[in-house]
A and B are shown apart, each in its own frame.
Chain A
Amino acid sequence: MIFSLIFLVSLLISVIIAVLIKGLPSLSWQMISQSPVGGYYMGKGGGVLNAILGSIYLASISTFFSLIIGLPVVLYMNIYKKGNSKFSSFIRLSMDVLWGVPSIVFGAFGFTVMVFLGLKTSLLAGAITLTIMILPVIIRAMDEIFKTIPQGMLDASFALGATRWETSIKIAVKQALPGITTAILLSFGRAIGDAASVIFTAGYTDRIPYSALKPVASLPLSIFFQLSAPVQEVQNRAYASAVILTIIILIISIISRILYSKYDKHRVNG
Chain B
Amino acid sequence: MAKTIEIENLNVFYGNRHALKNINMIIPENKITAIIGPSGCGKTTLLKCFNRLIDNNEGVKVTGKLLVDGENIFDPLAEITHIRKKMGLVSQRPFPLPMSIFDNIAFGPKIHGEKNKAKLTEIVQKSLQDVSLWDEVKDRLNTPASRLSIGQQQRLCLARGLAVEPRFILGDEPTSALDPISSKNIEEKFIELKTKYTLIVVTHSLPQARRIADYVIFMYDGEIVEHGTMNDVLDFPKNERTKEYVFGKIS
Contacts and interface: CB of A to CB of B under 8 A. Distances in A.
Interface stretch (B83-91, B179-187, B214-222, B239-247): B83-91
B20 interface: no
Interface in A186-238: none
Q: Interface extent on A, as a size class? A: 20 to 34
A159 B93 contact: no
B109 to A, nearest CB: 9
A158 B229 CA distance: 32
Interface residues of B, number: 33
Nearest to B97: A171
A219 to B, nearest CB: 37
B34 to A, nearest CB: 20
A152 interface: yes
B164 interface: yes
A121 B248 CA distance: 78
Interface stretch (B50-58, B129-137, B196-204): B50-58
B108 A160 contact: yes
A14 interface: no
Given A82-B58, A170-B107, A266-B146, A158 B53 contact: yes
Given A81-B58, A161-B111, A166-B111, 16 more contacts: A85-B58, A150-B95, A152-B91, A152-B92, A155-B53, A155-B89, A156-B160, A157-B97, A157-B107, A158-B84, A159-B84, A159-B87, A159-B88, A161-B81, A268-B98, A268-B145
Interface of B: 51, 53, 56-58, 81-82, 84-85, 87-89, 91-93, 95-100, 107-108, 111-112, 144-146, 157, 160-161, 164, 170
Interface of A: 81-82, 85, 150, 152-153, 155-163, 166, 170-171, 174-175, 265-269
